[in-house]
Structure 1
Amino acid sequence: MTPEELERFLELGREVLAKQPFSVLVGAQLLQLKPGFCELMVPMSEEIQQQHGFVHGGVISYMADNALTFAGGTAMRVPVVTAEFKINYLRPAVGERFIARAAAAYVARSQSVCRCEVFAVKDGQEKLCAMAQGTIAKLGEAPPTGTEMQ
């Protein structure tokens, strides 16, 4: 893809993200998006912490799920949903912001299998705090809408 096509692709992804109320609530931002790859960021805020002061596992899980789905949807270029995913929490999510990076590992007509790593970023250093894998499934036979990435 040309740089202009990649920029438009990212812009379409940001439009999709802006239509997700929960994504807006947690302040999620798409940093990168290209076919089969997604980088999603959520800034730290008091509202997403649990009682011990680190980010709630549900928010980390949301990040992995959404990044996996963007990666799978952009790889298949059709409307998709998450069919299943598994997550391993490796350490408490403590940082200033959190980044989920997902990539499609296997792509077929009706599904893709994707992997994701979620990092806590503190003082410019990334620490891996979760890993996930999921199956992203084609959503029926919906006609193209121009935003087929998720």
Structure 2
Amino acid sequence: MSDIGSEDVHERIRQSFARQGAMETLGAELTRISQGVVEIELPFDVKLTQQHGILHAGVISAALDSACSYAAYTVVAADASLLTIEFKVNLLSPGRGDRFLFRGEITKPGSTIIVADGRGYAVGDGPAKLIASMTSTLMVVRGREGITG
């Protein structure tokens, strides 16, 4: 497992996140990195909604996928990369809020396959509301051309 106290782990995750054009397009920011847990937040933007004015399921899925993937980066060696090989999303409540928080947490670390769970929350005037959950399976990749950190 990685030593999350190491600034190298934090920096590797920050640099990788900065290369994600999808997260940049969504206006997402990396707000927490700790051992086995990563959080990503994004503000409400009408450009990210579906026809009923709520956060689009594809946006929710993309943010949860990234949160789960980066949580997995906290438990792999620096020479490893990750690819999502499967996920399931449950949309639990409409995505209405001023901001959204997506948290990925490691359920089962591994040397080849990692399982992570994610939760998405709408944040507004009251308490945060759970809007989605994800279970994600990730494959640890080493030595594959074009796939690094």
Instruction: Work out whether the TM-score is over 0.5.
Output: yes
Cα distance in structure 1, aligned partners of 2:18 and 2:69: 15
Cα distance in structure 2, aligned partners of 1:100 and 1:51: 22
Residue pairs, 1:40-55, within 5 angstroms: 40-55=40-55
Partner of 2:63: 63
Paired letter, 1:136: L
Q: Secondary structure at the match of 1:125?
A: coil
Q: 2:84 aligns with which of 82, 107, 128?
A: 82
* Count of matched residue pairs: 144
- In structure 1, stretches of 5+ residues that fail to align are none
Partner of 2:108: 106
Task: Report % sequence identity.
Answer: 31
Name the TM-score, length of structure 2 as normaliser.
Answer: 0.87
Cα distance in structure 2, aligned partners of 1:76 and 1:14: 15
Q: Secondary structure at the match of 2:136?
A: strand
Say yes or no: does 1:121 pair with 2:115: no
Paired letter, 1:129: I
Q: Which moved more, 1:56-65 or 1:134-143?
A: 134-143
- In structure 2, stretches of 5+ residues that fail to align are none
Residue 142 of structure 1 and its aligned partner are, at CA, apart by 4.7
Q: Is the 8 A contact 1:48 1:55 kept in 2?
A: yes
Residue 2 of structure 1 and its aligned partner are, at CA, apart by 7.9
Paired letter, 1:133: T
Cα 1:111–1:48 shift into 2, 3 Å: same
Name the TM-score, length of structure 1 as normaliser.
Answer: 0.86
Cα distance in structure 2, aligned partners of 1:80 and 1:72: 8
Which one has a larger percent helix, Structure 1 or Structure 2? Answer: 1
Q: Is the 8 A contact 2:4 2:74 kept in 1?
A: no
Q: Secondary structure at the match of 1:76?
A: coil
